[in-house]
Amino acid sequence: MMPTVKKVAAKKKATKKVATPKPQTELARRRELFANMTNAERTAMVKDICDAVSCTELSLSALLRTNPDWPVWTKFYGWMDEDDDLRKMYASAKRRQTEYMADRTLEIADSESGEPLMGTNGRPVRDEHGNIVYVRSQVSIAHARLRVDTRKWLMAKVQPHKYGDSTTLRGDPDAPLIPQKKQDLSKLTEAELATYIALAEKVEGAE
């Protein structure tokens, strides 16, 4: 018996595949996560991020990628623009980070590790404990210098008064520097002007 048109249509409808929803993107997931966040929750999260910033050499964007529940880079700076207290918290964390970097520059400069020492068989040489032997080479020394210089540059940008190369003249607290006022020669008498010129010539001759 041939199936009727209605039965064929009903069968096609029953076997029709249901479209599966598209997976949520990571950016959409994070936006939904922060949409209903309270100010207290946001402050607590920023504090956790700042604590991590103060003891790492990672950039902010790289650090934020390590935790799937932290905001993306643009969202984090949006919070900084909206709240002065959060901005001050982050600025303090960056200053602490420079102190951490200062310690790391010493470790990098003093490190004796370099490139693996290769044997005649083309394999790394190992010591009696089975550890690979490293030697310093021109390449490893140049790389270490680059790492140190990069950290010094960042430290100088964050704390120029402490790690910058600029020099500022400072007077003693008990005898501060006082800028010399320009002498108004028009108010001097002829005798005073002659004395002034004579003294100026003596000073120039002594130099």
> Is 200 exposed, middle or buried (CB count within 10 Å of its CB: 0-12, 13-18, 19+)?
exposed
Q: Residue 110: is its pLDDT beyond 60?
A: yes
d(CA 50, CA 85): 12
Is 118 in a helix, a strand, or coil? Answer: strand
pLDDT in tens, 2-51: 555 555 555 555 555 555 666 667 777 777 778 788 899 999 999 999 99
Q: Are 46 and 89 in contact (CB under 8 A)?
A: yes
Q: Are 46 and 63 in contact (CB under 8 A)?
A: no
Kindly list the distances between the CA atom of residue 108 and the CA atoms of 53, 55, 84, 116, 152, in Å, as whole numbers in the listed order: 20, 16, 36, 17, 12
| Domain boundaries, given as residue ranges, for the chain | 33-162
pLDDT in tens, 42-72: 999 999 999 999 999 999 999 999 998 899 8
pTM recorded for the entire structure: 0.59
CATH superfamily of 33-162: Homeodomain-like (1.10.10.60)
Q: Are 196 and 188 in contact (CB under 8 A)?
A: yes
The continuous run of DSSP H or E covering 123 comes out as none
What does the pLDDT read at residue 46? 95
